[in-house]
Amino acid sequence: MTMRSLGLSIYPGHSKFEGNAHYLDLAHKYGFSRIFMSMLEVQGSPEGTKAKYKKIIEYGNKLGFQTFLDVNPAIFKQLGVSYDDLKFLPILVQQASVLTQHLMVQLKQCFLTTHMV
């Protein structure tokens, strides 16, 4: 038998933390266990963005959620991140799921492989 998990999406650029926290509380009550967030639409400074995402991820962690971040290489420049220096993302990834950490390693390896040929 396959174990399935329910998840929800949060768009930090389109919502306030209090609303997201209420949404997570309700989702937790009904058995949801995964959060998906996209970093494809980042607004504001890199520091503000990091703080906004980190706050949501930490709140989700307290409720037992696993968090998955969708990142796009096109947004890296806006965040001051490069494939050679991914310091910004691991700070969030430390808070997010282990799977996402593994994904970041694969992303960097994939980029290096395809651009070194």
CB 67 within 8 A of CB 35: yes
109 vs 54 pLDDT, higher one: 54
Q: Is 61 a residue whose pLDDT tops 80?
A: yes
Q: Could you tell me the pLDDT band of residue 23, with boundaries at 50, 70 and 90?
A: very high
* Six-digit token string for 78: 């806006």
First-to-final CA distance of the chain: 43
pLDDT at 116 over 50: no
What pTM, to 2 d.p., does this model score?
Answer: 0.71
Strand order in the sheet with 66-70: 6-10, 32-38, 66-70
The answer to whether 19 touches 49, Cβ cutoff 8 Å, is no
Q: What is the signed CA dihedral for 92, 95, 99, 101, rounded to 10 degrees? A: 40
